[in-house]
Amino acid sequence: MKTSTGGRNLTLPYWHNLTRDEVLGYWQSDPEQGLSPVVVKRRLKQFGYNHLREGKRVSAYAIFLSQFQDFMVVVLLVAVLLSGLLGQWDDAFTILAIVVINAFLGFIQEYRAERSLEALKQLGAPQARCRRMGEVRGLPASELVPGDIIELEPGDRVPADGRLLFVNNLECDEAPLTGESLPTGKISEPLTGRDLQPGDQRNMVFAGTSVTRGKGLAIVVATGMNTQIGRIAGMLERVKDEATPLQQRLAHLGQWLVAVCLFLCLLVVLLGIWRGEPVINMIMAGISLAVAAIPEGLPAIVTVALALGVQRMIRRRAVVRKLPAVETLGCATVVCSDKTGTLTKNEMTVQEIYVNAGRIMVTGKGYDLGGEFRKGNKRVGPDDEHLRQALTIAALCNNSRLDRRKPNKGLSNPLSPGGILGDPTEGALLVAAAKAGIWPEELQRKYPRVYEIPFEAERKRMTTVHGCPGGGGYLVCTKGAPDVVLELATKIYERGVVQTLTSERKKELQGIIADMAGRALRVLAVAGRLLPEFSGNEGEDVLERELVLVGLFGMIDPPRAEVPAAIERCHRAGIRVVMVT
């Protein structure tokens, strides 16, 4: 594996194949002390700052001059010069005014777009928690260097590529890099196989992804353009600029106009000379005819039309850097789209809950708290005991949080955009509970957590223990893969009572689980039990024994509301839509 440092190529190991001690030894770093200022300064000079390389910034002067590079504009400038030489100053100033107005229209649109993109980049400047000289310091992610030790917690955006040293239930949302909508569980042990894709390198974290669950400690192994996301940016840099279809057609039209004008003017001059007209008079007449034949209004008309298109795109919250790009969109015959976060909301949503031998459908999509529970054509109230029990367990056995710091208008308890801090699957359960008026903060005060067996990929479940109000014992809450929880459960809560879970009933439930999974739903089961006392020394063999199955949750990452209509419009326009995931 090669990386570039200060203009030189440096061959680096395959980090996911190395042990923790080997990676620490390579970078001469200590997991407790971190790096010294001297080493940081040296590595900053060697590897550079931790940010993606930007192309040469285009000045306002260069943007303005670029408006005069179009072939038709060059022809008009030549027409201005010829009109001036002929003394036709009215024509010269008129054409020049059209050219300048055309240039200013294009300049204003492109300059605004460049400034908007600059403002968007400033919004994305992340911070990092880094160990240096034995202290945990918060510093701009751009100052990280290979060998730095970084701490990761839920809600953090990973600031650089790193090899994990220690993990505690760490999961990362790697959708920006891999397109996978579900979080990836992380480990710290070395992996075998050199040519693993980033999505398979479970002992690595990558810049641009985010932590959804657990905690981790990692050593930075790549920064800036040497990260996985930096390599993608590097490939994009090598893409050559090509003329748009409109630019090609206008250039072709301009060349034909010039050729035809020159031919006709030359023909007129030769015919005049053949008839005995003075040569100088015929040359002047030919030049005047050429100037008159050029459509000086064409570039201005095209620019105004494209500017109107840009304004429509702005109203649709799209930034267009170059005016001709608007017309290029109209020439598209195939649209390739990512799935996660583009066609879908990237917000797991509970759509169906199976409790009390019946299915309850949940309305609403994403993290919007607007929604209700329906059984057939009837609305199910949040006071339904079976529904409340299932939602309560789902909200208690949960390490995510609702983010309501920036409320949306129109809802009494809305979420801010992207309002889940933590795992999106757990967040979907919290949103479903909130739709029934069950808030995790209130539940945690009523049922304080005293113990937790965290989720692990091998166990496929998570269990928490909570004190009951008034010293009424302890409530054990378990959620996990339905087949695993079903195997642990010996009873089921139906028709208001706890009943024995027979083998026949288990088979029926397995069929229901298969049906939900067959409709592309991700299924989780929730179960619980009451303990008269709890010492804190009990293990999973005690806590997860004789569980009472309470319900099943079916979740999906829903498509965006506007997607079906957008795809239909594309089909009507003859555009083929391809999902790339």
User: What are the catalytic residues?
Assistant: 338
Distances (CA, A) of 8 to 2, 183, 227, 236, 270: 10, 36, 16, 21, 65
Phi, psi values for residue 88, rounded to 5°: -90, 75
Q: CA-CA distance, 9 to 17, in Å (whole number)? A: 21
Neighbouring residues of 298: CB distance < 8 A, sequence distance ≥ 6: 72, 250
- What angle (nearest 5°) sits at the alpha carbon of residue 497, between those of residues 494 and 503? 55
**CB of 151 within 8 A of CB of 196?**
no
CA of 293: how far to CAs of 229, 259, 474, 485, in Å? 53, 12, 92, 82
Pairing label, strands 576-580, 334-338:
parallel
User: Under 8 Å CB-to-CB from 227, ≥6 apart: which residues?
Assistant: 160, 161, 206, 207, 208
CA–CA gap between residue 565 and residue 533 (Å, rounded): 57
DSSP characters over 205-266: E-TT-EEEEEEEEEEEEE-GGGSHHHHHHHHHHTPPP---HHHHHHHHHHHHHHHHHHHHHH
Distance CA 416, CA 88 (A): 64
Q: CA 200 to CA 186: how far, in whole Å? A: 10
The answer to whether 50 and 144 have CB atoms below 8 angstroms apart is: yes
357: left (phi over 0), alpha (psi -120 to 50) or beta: left
Residue 482 CB-density burial (10 A; 0-12 exposed, 13-18 middle, 19+ buried): buried
Calculated CA dihedral for residues 306, 309, 313, 318, nearest 10 degrees: -10
Which residues, in sequence order, are CB contacts of 317 under 8 Å at separation 6+?
none
Backbone angles phi, psi at 9, to 5 degrees: -90, 135
User: And the tokens for 129?
Assistant: 């928690």
Contact 507, 515 (CB under 8 A): no
Q: Which residues contact 27 (CB under 8 A, 6 or more apart)?
A: 146, 147, 219, 221
d(CA 232, CA 449): 44
Angle at 434 between CA 428 and CA 436, to 5 degrees: 115
Phi, psi of 126 (to 5 degrees): -85, 165
Q: What is the torsional sign of CA 123, 174, 399, 151?
A: negative
* DSSP annotation of 548: E
- CA dist 310 and 110 (Å) reads 10
Cα–Cα dist 365/345, whole Å: 9
